[in-house]
Structure 1
């Protein structure tokens, strides 16, 4: 709001056009359903009809297809409207009868209000009914009383079209072109007036005319932003370019490399510079957003220079730049005042890009004999150049070396041992090696990468030295049988490894994991365009090499000693010199040791629109508040920079109560409240995704076209939060996002992130982790996903796991229908060194305790809530954070039952053990417990069984240790065994 007030003050005090403005903002917003815009008319006397004939200069599409509503200031609605001429430039109509003189409000964009959240699925009201025939028959347009236009009003400042979305008339554009014969015209603009229309020019430019002079005012240490609007007046412009001279003031200079045009190049999300081609169709506008990096030590004064603009098919035009720098110094480059647009420089940030290990992981070590050490893991390279051994602590994962096989009608190609081996990078957190291998027909150029957290990537370029008919090109990963207990991915939910399985590229299915809770391996198949998890919303093309026009696929083959995973690509013909790229990534699991204490003590408060926990909630042990979006403290999705003061107030209050605060802040979509929205739009489809438009009316009225609407949140007191989808793949928005995260930690003092289905890859997550750890040690990240959306989120997001603190894989998970192995592999996080919480439908509180899981308090889904506080109370009374968790999945569990449908987990501590029982059967079952008394620490003869009463969980009961215990279907018990007499 500060930005809007500031811009309005500046606007009213001197930035208006020469003639008085006929555009204003309503003092009090009118009823939302009437739309965001109206014309205020004055009628001097009563009449049967009056005439409106106004140039309303509208940019939105199809103005004649919306309903018109005209209301007298007394509240009376006009009954008849006769349309004469309605298009984007002009509105001419008659209306009546007019029973009273005075003001009439003409609403021309009314729509259906959707008072909820999700996806806006309503729209504008259809045109009004035809006027009464007897009234219309009497009209004589030439003699009608004329209504006078007072002004055009917007419902709020956020809805305002003026001045940058008020179009020029065709006649005005024709006159402009007659006066200016250049191929393109330049219109300099201050940052206060972002250029919004890309296919029209504003009336403002007609009045000001083009110019080759820009003057601005800045402060020391400011990153100053401004625009040059390029209008392709007479022809298409090919490969638009800009060049700066630098800015000079006497003996002091701002060097040319301190001026940046964000539209023509920058730094990509992985630190690589790039140049961007900008073409501009005739009649369209290209805003060139320019940043000037002003040092804090520069003397005050006026600095002058030039910016030369041209295309490869035009003459160069030179803009004279004049920047007056004042004596005042900005402490933070201007970042705390969004209207300055100084944060555009974040687009080119490299923050967090380095090859150091993240916290918790040691540098890679070379142990010898082709063996490399990670934190708790080792990898040995075999003679073929691929891993021959993966060990997680003392557990070997592979039965024999991984192999990359090219099969022809004559058999498998025999490749040489690696040659021309080069160490490309040798850093503490990352090592890269390159090599070549040859067969009679093929050359493999390989690049292998290992990282400190147990991540491995192989990228092979396979070149045909002569024509080759390949029967198959495949990857074979042979797992030890005793390790390959569980599997997920490639069209399988998490579960027990099948003896045989096959899958094709439908799904998405691009990855799999095989292993157990002590050791395992995740593998993902990639192509050259890989940029993140293969989600439904952001599904990149399948890797061409592996997919091979749907001839590729996956299968499992088992023998008594191994489980072999094969990724095959099928038959193909290679011409001499033809190259294919095969890429895959792997990650050794578990990625870390489970932090059980954190699971049982760092309890989450997660309550969307009402994020403030009560004193009672705090007394129950809540330690972390997740601040979702769509509330007063974080109102706008994925852009937590609008209500910074409110968020800071909230964070400070929670810190006073001993709570950490993590915020919802991701990348998938972006709110329409984004200050830099128009600058981002000027970058084409680099950051903001393309689409058919539509959605919430604000988007239709301002963005108009070439966007895809996404999440919608209605607010009763302001314009809705209406997001649009970001472009798929990598973009500089990752850089902005990470800089923004660092800024939020420094200035708002947040304690981490709540991630909700994001699409960037592990490189970005690693940057996030480093930035959080360096800015504020102890920051946390938890990851939420939806199995219906991600098609197996644990597989899709495995590459994130080294940097996560907790999982919340719960949406669309039907807990009571899931098998025990499915819980373990897909939801619990345990095989990966993490733990999680439940979500959908309140979870299943009994089965969840077998994995140490509860729901988050007081989240409600599907109209169901499951209060975890009664279970938390038992945790605290028992002291579960001091216990050792031993689940049924272990080779030697502490508790077994005599029924395979009933699973048990023990939480062991000195003098007592908590046992969680869960019945997966559809029937009530009776079970006896088989206990390992040596590990419990006392004998059965000196033990008693306690069944505490737990609200909404179980009634107190009397069982002896030797009793058969009845358990209802899909329910369970929490039992405590203590040393002492029964």
Structure 2
């Protein structure tokens, strides 16, 4: 302390300035390594060598507690100066002494150095603590010396993206006090701001506003036909509630008018992701800044001129603030509404888009047909009971899953129904029904309602079935009197053959157990239902209430888990039992004992998905061969691949889930690919969003609507510019792209749909690659519509890492994403799927996609090519060098796989069997020849005896040859005699019969 006082006295006596200054902020153009020195430095000009130099740096930092971060001083060659003494450090400025005896010239002060810890793709930027490196000798001599003053030339960020200038350069406390002193009676201040100076700090006034002062007007210009965004920054001096913005119409001197309805504020009003109107209350705590992002939809036919109007900011109980608007509309008509230039915030209105919301039928589905109580949809029939509940559900798909037959395969042994038990044996509510009524009927949706009444309760049923097989039930129970119930149960009684397999409720996909007892545990498990079925018919059910919110997934479930439904969960009394009863397999969802008061309402909602969704599209599997890597197009063409997946972190798609910055490079690549006969799909989803998204500050202004709350941290850019209250997500070190987790169902989905539409129309993408999915079927349908419009192929494939783990809440990937399966073309499941140890029924249900009308590919460790071919799967080219699929592709071409019918081992009609239930065979049959994929799950090497139904193959056994064709890396050529084959453990064959 004495030493510091000595220095301070010397400096004051010498007349060193103690007032704040504003320094120039510049771009360092990557002149240093930020991973060791941080992203920010002050550039000093030392006029002459000096043993003790003094500098004051008015850095105006937005980060809290800079005194806890290290300061590093270097010379021009980045050699660290050890003799440094910090005199003062605060958010506003720092003063320090340092040894400049090595020479005159440039010195640097790095003031936010950090190191990255943790996984490379999930780094934790840890800021270095202060250290003491000065020698005692230098400190003693410095105390007696007269310091040489040093000039700060500039404050420099490692690049423009990391710069704080100008909207993150804070006003000093004195400047803020002086400003507020001019507005002593105000409850809040409003700062109009243009779109290019996004408000980023939640509490500090930017120095830019100190310079401009509080303005009562805003003027700017825009083109016709363009969305023009601007901001109204509300600085609350006391807590504000229900902040609103009201707009007048805009009037030009020549009498032209732009209606008030063309102006809006996205923070207060909009359209939800499902198309419903959205109104949000904006409350602002004291000493906080709330950006209100407003926009004007300038009609393309608007007359050029200067338009005047007002925006009125009103908080509950406070005086309104009127901002005069002066908008100059230029003669020029914006190209494509200006959206080709998203850096100009021309896409902010996409957040309120309702593009592709109408539930039109999407190929290959067919319009719904209703006859009496039966609704027919592609490959399935749904019969409505008089009480509104499902009376019967039937599948028309053949066991081979290659076509729709005439035979109906009923899923249920009786209607799906509720039981309402009173205390006491065999005492339950007796219901009367008024019958169901169709309330909507069109090609995409059939809705109905029914009222059922008991002495003590009413049950109102609202339901809808959509063209893809999704059924949503809202079941509202209203107590007519006080009553006690020992249980409320929903029974789903399944035909045993149509409940052969099961997945969910803590079970990995596979053969259904004889019985199961499951309890709710939303704090740890992302489980609210299950799928059960056979290959050609099944049912997924999920239990919800009116407060359902989609949880986070993919490593983040525990940070935003399911809400326990008040009805089904009943304070964790509820659960699901599975058991045989008579001729049924019963899925019994129970809620346990409860009491209800007269007027109490409970919602026992549930959703159903009727599987499979469509026949297997085997031709697509054989003719569309995916290459999962950005590469030279001639190289890709030479592999035989036909579809390229472009990941993020690549030159034409660098930023995760934001493919709008390098879109011109992407377009050039795709155009060239199309000329070469190749299709191109891109990585783009909304589970997380790049920090490079132009609209990031807009989304932050929406509170937790788009970005999930969280503990912050992660890569340095996020900590320095987003600050806190977010969840750091995936990071790409090569391009320093840091992402933030999306909160789930929100208006960013509207932007996503519009963005996909723009990419199809302007860049020419042929589809998307989804890496897990953070949206539901509402958004998936919209995406499929815009991707397939105007004859575009709209190919969608879904990758998932195995979600059956603690971080993901022990859910099954297929179960988790099944609602999106109707719109996928292929699965790629994925990391942490075990292709070596798991059983055939696990392959079938969790990996292959076959029970849902899909086919897939393998990933982990290159997969098991022999087992994969039993399900029509190979590894994906480009991702790994293990198990190169090209030799198999070559055999497919030689055989003509696109002309073959797939008959899996799961079909009772499979014409080739091995006589060993641990060695399975799938047939690919065409006229005059057959390819048989055979794979072993036997615990050791074994020998099988083929049992071939020659008639079913259409081949004369007397003239037939059975051979094992040579396939590099897969099998050596051999001839099969007498139908006997030795099969190695974990391997198999491809047999060619003709």
Aligned partners of 2:552, 2:458: CA distance in 1, in Å?
30
User: Does structure 1 conserve the Cα–Cα contact (< 8 Å) formed by 2:124 and 2:713?
Assistant: no
**Alignment CA distance shift 1:407-1:650 (3 Å):** same
Contact 1:515 1:521 in 2 (8 A): yes
What is the aligned counterpart of 1:279 among 279, 283, 287?
A: 283
| 8 Å CA contact retained: 1:620, 1:872 | no
Q: Quick check: 1:711 aligned with 2:730?
A: yes
Q: Distance in 2 between matches of 1:342 and 1:114?
A: 38
Instruction: Determine the C-alpha separation between the residues in 2 that align with 1:947 and 1:71.
Output: 70
- Paired position in structure 2 for 1:213: 217
- Selected match of 2:548 from 520, 526, 530: 530
Q: Does 1:858 align with 2:878?
A: yes
Match of residue 406 from structure 1: 420
Where does residue 569 of structure 1 map in the other structure?
A: 591
Q: Verify the 8 A CA contact 2:25 2:154 in the aligned structure 1.
A: yes
Partner of residue 141 from structure 2, selected from 138, 142, 145: 138
Distance 1:944 1:105, change over 3 A: same
**Separation (CA, whole Å) in 2 of partners of 1:329 and 1:822:** 58
* Secondary structure class of the residue paired with 2:335: coil
Q: Please say if residues 769 and 797 of structure 2, whose CA atoms lie closer than 8 Å, have aligned partners that are also in contact.
A: yes
Q: How does 1:447-458 map to 2 (within 5 A)?
A: 447-458=462-473
Q: 2:763 aligns with which of 748, 769, 774?
A: 748
Deviation at 1:114, TM superposition (A): 7.5
Whole-angstrom CA distance in 1 between matches of 2:672 and 2:722 = 38
For 1:506-905, what aligned pairs fall within 5 Å after superposition? 506=521, 507-532=525-550, 535=553, 537-538=556-557, 539-559=561-581, 561-607=583-629, 610-615=630-635, 617-715=636-734, 720-728=736-744, 730-788=745-803, 789=808, 791-860=811-880, 865-905=882-922
Q: Distance in 1 between matches of 2:436 and 2:145?
A: 89
CA contact (8 A) 2:655 2:737 kept: yes
Shift of residue 227 of structure 1?
0.9
Pick one of 934, 938, 942 that aligns with 1:917.
934
Residue in structure 1 matched with residue 68 of structure 2 by the alignment: 65
Cα distance in 2 between the residues matched to 1:36 and 1:822: 49
Q: What is the DSSP-based 3-state SS (H/G/I as helix, E as strand, rest coil) of the residue aligned with 1:342?
A: coil
* TM-fit CA distance, 1:69: 1.6
Contact 2:44 2:151 in 1 (8 A): yes
Is 2:955 the partner of 1:938?
Answer: yes
Checking the alignment, whether the CA contact within 8 Å between 1:511 and 1:796 is kept in structure 2 is no
2:644 and 2:413 mapped to 1: Cα distance? 45
Distance 1:941 1:531, change over 3 A: farther
The alignment partner of 1:738 has SS state of: helix
How far 1:351 sits from its partner (Å)? 0.5
Q: Give the corresponding residue for 1:343.
A: 347
In the alignment, is residue 330 of structure 1 matched against residue 334 of structure 2? yes
Judged with a 3 Å threshold, the aligned counterparts in structure 2 of structure 1 residues 49 and 961 are, in CA distance, closer, same or farther, namely farther
Count of aligned pairs between the two proteins:
948
Give the Å deviation of 1:252.
0.8
The residue number in structure 2 matching 1:149 is 152
The 1-side partners of 2:591 and 2:946 are apart by 50
Does the 8 Å CA contact 1:590/1:833 hold for their aligned counterparts? Answer: yes
Question: Which residue in 1 is equivalent to 2:367?
Answer: 363
Deviation at 1:545? Answer: 1.5
1:413, CA displacement in angstroms? 3.3
- SS of 2:622's equivalent? helix
Query: Structure 1 residue 462 and structure 2 residue 500: aligned?
Result: no
- 1:164-313 paired onto structure 2 within 5 Å: 164-181=167-184, 182-232=186-236, 234-249=237-252, 250-313=254-317
Query: Residues 50 and 141 of structure 1: is their aligned pair in 2 closer, same or farther, counting only changes over 3 Å?
Result: farther
Greater CA deviation, 70-79 or 647-656?
Answer: 70-79
Deviation at 1:51, TM superposition (A): 1.4
CA–CA distance in structure 2, aligned partners of residues 809 and 532 of structure 1? 22
Summarize the Cα distance change of 1:282–1:213 in structure 2 as closer, same or farther, 3 Å threshold.
same
1:396 aligns with 2:396: no
Show CA shifts across 1:595-621 (max 9, x none). 1111111110112xx344553x42443
More off after superposition, 787-796 vs 684-693: 787-796
Distance 1:710 1:149, change over 3 A: same
Which residue, 3, 27, 33 being the options, matches 1:31? 33
Instruction: For residue 384 of structure 1, report the CA deviation from its aligned partner.
Output: 3.3
Deviation digits for residues 746-776 of structure 1 (CA, Å, limit 9, x no counterpart): 1101011111111211111111112222254
Aligned to 2:945: 928
Task: Choose which of 97, 101, 105 in structure 2 pairs with 1:98.
Answer: 101
**1:420 Cα deviation from its structure 2 partner:** 7.3
Take 1:759 and 1:299, find their aligned partners in 2: how far apart are those partners? 43
Determine the C-alpha separation between the residues in 2 that align with 1:229 and 1:60: 20
Q: 8 Å contact 1:858–1:865 — kept in the other structure?
A: no
> 1:391-445 CA distances to partner (integer Å, 9 max, x unpaired)?
1112111111111121112435344343275443222211222221111211111
**Residue 5 (structure 1) aligns with:** none
Deviations 1:579-603 (A, max 9, x none): 1111111111110011111111111
Asked if 2 retains the 8 angstrom alpha-carbon contact of 1:534 and 1:796, the reply is no
Q: Secondary structure at the match of 1:651?
A: helix
Deviates more, 1:503-512 or 1:252-261: 503-512
Do structure 1's residue 479 and structure 2's residue 494 form an aligned pair? yes
TM-superposed CA distance for 1:356, in Å, is: 2.0
Deviations 1:828-886 (A, max 9, x none): 111111111111111111111111100110212xxx62211111111111111111111
Do the aligned partners of residues 493 and 103 (structure 1) sit closer, same or farther apart at CA in structure 2, a change above 3 Å counting? same
Q: CA deviation at 1:666?
A: 0.6
For residue 495 of structure 1, give the secondary structure of its aligned residue in structure 2.
Answer: strand
Q: What secondary structure, in the 3-state scheme, does the structure 1 residue paired with 2:412 have?
A: coil
| TM-score, structure 1 normalization | 0.94
Give me the whole-angstrom Cα distance separating, in 2, the residues matched to 1:679 and 1:384.
Answer: 48
Per mean C-alpha deviation after superposition, the further-off stretch among 66-75 and 348-357 is 66-75
Cα offset, 1:205, TM superposition: 0.7
The CA deviation at 1:550 is: 1.6
The aligned counterpart of 2:17 is none
Counterpart CA distance in 2 for 1:98 and 1:672 is 42
TM-score (norm 2): 0.93
1:129 Cα shift?
A: 3.2
